[in-house]
Amino acid sequence: MISQTDSNFALKIHALLCRGFLKGRDWYDFSWYVARGVFPNLKHLEAALLQFGPWAGRRDIGVDRAWLETELAKAISSIKWNDAAKDVERFLRPREAASLSLWSEGFFRSKLSKLIALENSQ
């Protein structure tokens, strides 16, 4: 059953893929959703992508697990993770901010693998 949380995560992924600038909070939230075992509502994500961003108006994108994995992997490989961590650090308590030292391409690829495994188990 699709929940509000699944739909909210879909909109967060839309922001990750379509925002024209780096916002560390988006990646912090991505990590938070994955850690809680949430898988995004792909129909909701596709609807949002068709409305705004580089895929707007296209009808051929077919958002599924494979598409999601490919596009998020591209995004993850394009990020300067030190910049992302610095951007979000000011919003976190010192105890939480310590976890930002883990932020790297490898860390988020691991999160992506966990996300894809979640979808396969549902």
Other beta carbons within 10 angstroms of residue 73's beta carbon come to: 16
* Domain range enclosing 54: 4-121
Q: Is the pTM of this model over 0.75?
A: yes
Tokens 């976890």 correspond to 99
Structure tokens at 81: 């993770």
In contact, 88 and 24? CB cutoff 8 Å: yes
Residue 21, judged by CB atoms within 10 A of its CB (0-12, 13-18, 19+), counts as exposed
Average pLDDT over residues 88-92: 92
Work out whether the CA dihedral 22, 35, 77, 88 comes out positive or negative: positive
Mean pLDDT, residues 47-73 taken together: 92
Give tens-digit pLDDT for 24-47. 999 999 999 999 999 999 999 999
- Give the chain's domain count: 1
